[in-house]
Structure 1
Amino acid sequence: MSVLVVGSVNADVTVRAARIPAPGETVLGEEARVSPGGKGANQAVAAALAGSSVTLCGAVGRDTFRAPALSGLTRAGVDLAGLHELDAPTGLALITVAASGENAITVASGANARVTSAHLPTDLSGFTHLLLQNELPSEVNREAARRAHAAGLTVLHNAAPARQAPMEQPDPELLAHTHHLIVNEHELAAFASGGGEALETQARALLTRGPRAVTVTLGAQGSLTVTADAVDRLPAFPVTPVDTTGAGDTFCGVLTAWLAQGHPLPTALHAAGVAAALACTRPGAQDAMPDRAEIAAALAR
């Protein structure tokens, strides 16, 4: 039940405001808050809080943002044996959170962009699952997935954020080594180049390219998961959102943790959806993530 997360580590600088600024607009907000973030670190924390043994492979700088970037990982008990200190700034995310709970994020990759395949662990014998995102260089993800697949690990890839330059078809080798692909609607469109087809049709098309399962997260509409044998539509767990910043990462981390603990896919998807909803009820990313006891209590309700 040991999970390896290969991914980004950031410090998040968050400002709450009445609304997200339009292009060219300045909006006054509240005091800035610095907290731990990065999709890799977020998902590692979510998986650890959900009860799995988690190791993170990533990188930070030696600057003042290093400590806040690592604080949540340390509190959650994530193993940082795979963490590297590089001569580059620690990754930084600038986040505006609107009164509605929606957010807009700009990321300065920093040390995350300097990670190479040479930083990947060579011994994967202690792991059962690998979790990837799109905030490290694509060649690192490709090599991590290839090694993990060859070693018998289950590979989950959260293809977020969608690659924007160029907006091209996904890496066929990475897809071929991915067991479970997790995307939102926008990322699915970038992957599938769907010309208006239904989400299920777009997701099912990706199954022919390697993944055994494709999950589309739909925010307040829940999630859709397609496998060769089934289509699983789950409604969202009802909450009043305060901040949606870490919801997607919570979903991915908890899904991976529950699968690593031996739960069947429908049960893991249900737990992940509930956990993601709970994370929206508090401000922040890692600070808002529920632990296993809270997830279990919500499932029981």
Structure 2
Amino acid sequence: MSGRIGVVGDVAFDYVIDLDEADAPDEKVIPRATARLLGGTGANAAAVATTLGSQVSLHANVGDDPTGDWVRRALTERGIDTTHVAVSPGTTATATILRRGTGRTVIVDIGVGLSPLANAPTAVADLRACDLIYVSYSPEAVTRLIREGLGDRLVAGLEGWMLADNDFLHALARCRLVITNDAGYAALTATGSVPQAPVVRTQGEKGASIHHPDGTTVLIPPFIVDAVDATGAGDCFAGTLCHYVAQGTPLADAAHLASASAALSTTAVGAQGRIPSPNELESLAAVPDRDKRENGSVPLER
């Protein structure tokens, strides 16, 4: 069974620059290699869920510039429906990713990317027909969809900067599920607000954890791989998690599979350099001691 997922978020042109680990002798830096790739938190998650077999509608906004045309073609090549990708006056989101050894710096020019619901009435009508809605990088979209009564199927991608918006903070409490990272979770905890939904926290090499409203925490162990680039790993985690949750997979099992998926994604360059197939990520996730752990996870008191 495949679920229908609506993804609301940004799409971007990723310019990846691979640099030598040693500092350059002057201000001129010659890269070892460069790549021009499809990216953006919404597009990355949509590509993963599509590859895993979900029916995905992507709601995003690109500029009326040549980069916007390139991004829409790239989305189509990934098999992603661009029906709800709006074109607005302005520039398409661009991310410049500087890679130096295992470290990286990401410089984002968001352009028109913060308005993924540019065609709001049409978008809301489409999203009502979805089993699950994932919103990334747009606190305004989360607030709008909560007001439209879609909180029971809304998964919010949280970054710390979003919490400055009080409307978003109140809307967050009514979502079905929240996905964030260590920094976002720390910022959320600092507000004193507890969403009435599980918060799934990605923790990089440490794996992940699920924080339930009753105060209990479930640990999701990490997977050890030969990582070369962590760009987009969190988006891969989110897309995988949403795919399995939409299928009715228990949350802890879905998070276990998402952790495996994110780990595999780091073994290639670029946010969409490697999107694992269902067979290979389920094979990796079937670790020997899995049956010894309840729902593929380890409960822990918080």
TM-score by length of 2: 0.84
1:193 paired with 2:190, answer yes
- Residue 222 of structure 2 is matched in structure 1 by 236
The runs of 5 or more residues in structure 1 that have no matched partner are: 195-204
Per-residue CA deviation, residues 131-183 of structure 1 (Å, 9 max, x unaligned), is: 0112x3x3233102332xx24642111113x317x957683332122121111
What displacement does 1:11 show?
Answer: 0.4
- Residue 5 of structure 2 is matched in structure 1 by 3
- Residue 201 of structure 1 is matched in structure 2 by none
- 16, 19, 25: which one aligns with 2:18: 16
Q: Percent identity?
A: 27
What displacement does 1:25 show?
Answer: 7.3
- Residue 267 of structure 1 is matched in structure 2 by 253
1:105 paired with 2:90, answer no
Report the CA distance shift for 1:267/1:63 in structure 2 as closer, same or farther (over 3 A): same
For 1:68-147, what aligned pairs fall within 5 Å after superposition?
68-100=70-102, 102-115=103-116, 118-119=119-120, 121-123=123-125, 124-134=127-137, 136=138, 138-147=139-148
- Residue 156 of structure 2 is matched in structure 1 by 157
Kept after mapping to 2: 8 A contact 1:84/1:119: no
What displacement does 1:284 show?
Answer: 0.6
What displacement does 1:21 show?
Answer: 7.8
Aligned equivalents of 2:110, 2:213: Cα separation in 1: 36
- Residue 270 of structure 2 is matched in structure 1 by 284
- Residue 203 of structure 2 is matched in structure 1 by 218
What displacement does 1:69 show?
Answer: 2.3
- Residue 181 of structure 1 is matched in structure 2 by 178
Kept after mapping to 1: 8 A contact 2:143/2:167: no
- Residue 198 of structure 1 is matched in structure 2 by none
- Residue 291 of structure 2 is matched in structure 1 by none
Aligned residues: 281
Kept after mapping to 1: 8 A contact 2:151/2:174: no
Kept after mapping to 1: 8 A contact 2:86/2:119: no
- Residue 242 of structure 2 is matched in structure 1 by 256
- 52, 65, 69: which one aligns with 2:67: 65
Q: Which moved more, 1:262-271 or 1:114-123?
A: 114-123
CA RMSD of aligned residues (A): 2.6
Per-residue CA deviation, residues 17-75 of structure 1 (Å, 9 max, x unaligned), is: 234989x9775422321100010111111111122111011111232212442355323
The runs of 5 or more residues in structure 2 that have no matched partner are: 288-302
Secondary structure of 1:122's counterpart equals helix
Report the CA distance shift for 1:264/1:88 in structure 2 as closer, same or farther (over 3 A): same
- Residue 202 of structure 1 is matched in structure 2 by none
Secondary structure of 1:249's counterpart equals helix
Secondary structure of 2:20's counterpart equals coil
TM-score by length of 1: 0.84
What displacement does 1:233 show?
Answer: 0.5
Aligned equivalents of 1:62, 1:45: Cα separation in 2: 22
